[in-house]
Structures are given as structure tokens and as C-alpha cells.
Structure 1
Amino acid sequence: MSVKEPVAGFAVAVVREDGKWRCSALEAGALANLDAAITALGKLRSTGAVFALLAVDDEFFVIVRPSPRGPSLLLSDAAAALDYDIAADVLDVLRADAPDEDDDSIYSEGDLEILADVGLPGPELEVIAGEVDLYPDEQLQMIAQRCGFADEFGSLLDDM
């Protein structure tokens, strides 16, 4: 998939500050380019948690969480790297190989503990990422529910 082609889906920045959650839309370019997502998150100043939830083309999701030592990342389906630049970018940053084209297994790649400090332990995130019968937006809604920002997340999606 070319970077120039628009990618369907949504990109949401999530910020927790002073015990309150805030969700805001990121530019659509964040869906096609990992650097764009990281840069957009870097512009959000917060003393609390900051991360992005990206739902790409009804196929997979990416969680991006910047840190001084580099971004923490989770890609819900490593095979997406065969078709989507942003998924390939995630695997590059993680130094992980894309699966073979013949491999039809679905598995996540990255930091399953990425949201552990905001209420979602790695094993639970792994179960959500492995729910192949759900669309990425439904998986991200489950994540928002478990972390405690489902109302803010749902309200933003309704407005998009």
C-alpha cells in the first residue's frame, strides 16, 4: 500500500492528567505513518499518561506510547505489515520480522504491558488483541472500558 493512498480508520490521542481522561482526534496522516503519530503525540504536553490508539482500515490496531527512551508499541496483527506501511514501520522499530505470506496465524507484536500502569495488564491486553472476531474499533473500545475512559473515547468517535 502506498503512503499516498488514504488509509481508513481513526487515530485518537489519549491523555490522563490530574486523574481525568481526555481524548482527541489525531490527523489522518497518523494512520499511514508511524513517525507522524509519534510526532503528534510529542506535541501533547502532559505530566500524566499519553498514548495513541490507531484503528487501521478495519484490519488491525496500533497503540503508540512515547517515552524518552523511544516509543512503546503494540501491533495487534503482525501480518498487517505485509500490506500496510504503518504496521511495517512498527515491526521495524520493534526489530521484529513480518510473518511469511503463507503464515495465516494472527498474533500481536510489541509491548503487551504498554497500558499496565493505567489499568490494563498485559495478559488482558493480549486476550483483547487476539479477539479475531472483533473489529479494531471494538477492540479499542474494550481497551478504553478497561482503562476507564470509555465515555470520553465513545463520545469522540461519535463526533468523528
Structure 2
Amino acid sequence: MEPLEGFAVAVVREDGKWRCEALEIETLRELDAAITGLRKIRSTGAVFGMLDVDDEFFLLLRPGPAGVTLLLSDSAAALDYDIAADALDLLRVEPPDDDDDDLWPAGSLDLLADIGVPAAELQVIIDDVDLYPDEQLQMIAQRCGFEDQFSKVLDTIQA
């Protein structure tokens, strides 16, 4: 099995402070591994995951008592990546046709609305085709206010 490029970061907001930590690289392959990794993090505040898979697309995951809320930045990724296909399965969304070149997200665009990124703003970030997924996630981190913590974790992952 070919190794995947990218990163998986857990983001926690507790007592008004942000904390970021790297998740196992295996979470880029399996949605269940990503969800399990996030559920292991104990916090009274918001916990969510930011995954950049192969510099092709990103996933935002937010586990909660009623299940997992997620956003897949490009549904067409389900044609090539198991984790994206699993995300569409969880969302009960059909993957696009092979010849569909349109970029369309699937899931909850208001996933981060309560912590600083309204749905319309997240849509604008996803629609910017000139940005790579890591740059899109960096923009989200900046909008929410944890860019410094996010960058430090990325520096350790990519070192």
C-alpha cells in the first residue's frame, strides 16, 4: 500500500484556549481511525479534526454525542480515496460520476460556524481552486484564531 502524503491534526478549544496535536498518519486512510482518534481526546470544549489527504482534498470531522459531523471538501475524491468514499457513505451521498469535473463539497458547511467560520466563508475557502488543501486549512485556522498552534504542529509533522 502506497503511503499517503498529508497530515491529520486534532484541534481542541478548552477554557478559551486552543490546542492542536498531531493524529496518527493512519487516520488519513481510514475514517474510523480518524473518528476514534478524535473521540479519545478528552475535553469539555470543542474537538475537531483537520485532515489534508495527499494534498488533494481535506476533511473536517467533529465528533459529538449524536454522531460525527463532517465536511469533505471535494466529493470527487471518493473515486480515488477510501477515506473520502467512507465519508460519503456516512453522509449517505452518492459519489459523482467519473466524468464530473466540478468541485463540490459534501457534508456540513456550518461545522465550524460556532467557532468562527460561518458556512458562507467556508464555502468561499473551498471554492478557491488556487489553494492547496493545506493552505485552505491554514486559512480556517487563522479565521478561528489557532493559526500559531496549528503551524507549530505542522512544523513538527513535516520536519
Range of TM-score over shorter length: over 0.9
The CA deviation string for residues 79-120 of structure 1, in whole angstroms up to 9 with x for no partner, is: 000000000000000000100001100111100000001011
Partner of 2:48: 51
Match of 1:26 among 13, 23, 28: 23
Partner of 2:122: 125
RMSD: 0.7
Partner of 1:96: 93
Give every structure 1 segment of 4 or more consecutive aligned residues whose post-TM-superposition deviation is greater than 3 Å: none
1:142 aligns with 2:124: no
The CA deviation string for residues 109-136 of structure 1, in whole angstroms up to 9 with x for no partner, is: 1000000010110000011111111110
After TM superposition, the score normalised by the length of structure 1 is 0.96
1:152 aligns with 2:149: yes
**Which runs of 5 or more residues in structure 1 are unaligned?**
none
The CA deviation string for residues 7-37 of structure 1, in whole angstroms up to 9 with x for no partner, is: 1100000000000000000000100000000
Secondary structure, aligned partner of 1:66:
strand
Match of 1:73 among 52, 63, 70: 70
The CA deviation string for residues 30-66 of structure 1, in whole angstroms up to 9 with x for no partner, is: 0000000000001000000000000010100000000
Structure 1 position 6, deviation (Å): 2.1
Q: For the residues of structure 2 that align with 1:113 and 1:16, how far apart are their CA atoms?
A: 17
Secondary structure, aligned partner of 1:71:
strand
**Which runs of 5 or more residues in structure 2 are unaligned?**
none
